[in-house]
Amino acid sequence: MDLLSTLVDKGLRRELPTREEALAVLATPDEELLDVVAAAGRVRRQWFGRRVKLNYLVNLKSGLCPEDCSYCSQRLGSKAGVLTYSWLKPDQAASAAAAGVAGGAKRVCLVASGRGPTDRDVDRVSKAIETIKEQHGDVEVCACLGLLSDGQAERLREAGADAYNHNLNTSEETYKDICTTHSYSDRVDTVRQARSAGLSACSGLIAGMGESDEDLVDVVFALRELDPDSVPVNFLIPFDGTPLAGTWQLTPQRCLRILAMVRFVCPDVEVRLAGGREVQLRSLQPLALHLANSIFLGDYLTSEGQAGKADLEMIADAGFEVEGADTTTLPGHRSEDLVAVRRRGAGTELPPNA
């Protein structure tokens, strides 16, 4: 059987491809790109149909971070000129979230810069979560606050958070090259803490930071093992004023191959098209919808996203539909696992993906 048929078969059965197969996807020539997209698209449709989940990002606190992540415009000493402010009030966060919900967002991601929250920060975010949930009972709330300390994930869950995001970003091997103020294993620990508190884990990567194909396969296989429910795939925006300024290593075709590889390795997981899609995928963004089943709507974090209206038009033009609030995003087996761990209570690990 040829490579793509093998990968489709494995994806439909939730079977892990080999590393060689994942590497071969990244090495396919441009003339075979549409075959790769079509094959990974079959796996995407099996688990998520033609639905696209919309997510909306609310920046609770921006800039002035003491950490030195080299890709980040909010890092220590950044000269990227991003907006800096400290903690939105709960009603400000709720009105920002309302704009996303009005645009069709099903999930609101509450993001704060910094190494991790203090207990007082968790109080503030808990109030914001409660206010958002009072106003929009159906919306999923994901917190993204950095490294968690003991008990913080449980408190966020009690406040009503549905999910927690913390990305691995790159392979364990190359992590020290992009950040020296915390480690890869710190990040893994936080994803595990969130998951065992009954929060849906969201963890992904950033491509285009100078990594090799092997690094990309390493981080995606590590994510499969960690088994988050959603995997955001970011493409580097090399902001001026950061150490990675001028690092333009991706092409739209390579971005599609990366997304296809992620889909084959994590077939039944919400693969989210995240930062950098406009600047790196450019006019090929609609093809990415055949691979990712989730996108950020409109403007996000410290960069300008496409306006929300243009996103909705792109989804409709490409023959996809926005996922409604009454639809469960994850396939039945994954959502049942999450419900089971919440019933059993915090401290229970989810079973690993098949």
- Known binding-site residues for [2Fe-2S] cluster equal 109, 142, 202, 272
As a whole number of angstroms, the distance between CA 120 and CA 152 comes to 10
Task: Write down the least CB distance from residue 302 to ligand SF4, Å.
Answer: 9
| Total Cβ atoms within 10 A of residue 149 | 13
Dihedral sign (CA 274, 276, 279, 280)? negative
Chain centroid offset of residue 121 CA: 22
Single-letter amino acid code for the residue at 40: A
Q: Evaluate whether 53 touches 271 at the Cβ level (below 8 Å).
A: no
Residue 209: strand, helix, or coil: coil
Nearer to ligand SF4, 244 or 338 (CB): 244
In this structure, what token pair is assigned to residue 78? Answer: 């950044």
As a whole number of angstroms, the distance between CA 342 and CA 345 comes to 5
Q: Which residues line the annotated binding site for [4Fe-4S] cluster?
A: 65, 69, 72
Catalytic residue numbers read: 65, 69, 72, 109, 142, 202, 272
Torsion, Cα of 12, 42, 37, 330 (10° steps): -70
Nearer to ligand SF4, 69 or 231 (CB): 69
Phi, psi of 163 (to 5 degrees): -145, 165
Nearer to ligand SF4, 100 or 117 (CB): 117
Footprint of ligand SF4 (CB under 6 A): 65, 67, 69, 72, 74-75, 113-115, 146
- First-last CA distance in the chain: 23
Choose among 281, 273, 277, 271: nearest CA to 304: 277
Task: Write down the least CB distance from residue 251 to ligand SF4, Å.
Answer: 25
Choose among 261, 218, 255, 217: nearest CA to 234: 255
In this structure, what token pair is assigned to residue 75? Answer: 């890092």
Task: Write down the least CB distance from residue 155 to ligand SF4, Å.
Answer: 20
Task: Write down the least CB distance from residue 79 to ligand SF4, Å.
Answer: 14
Task: Write down the least CB distance from residue 65 to ligand SF4, Å.
Answer: 3
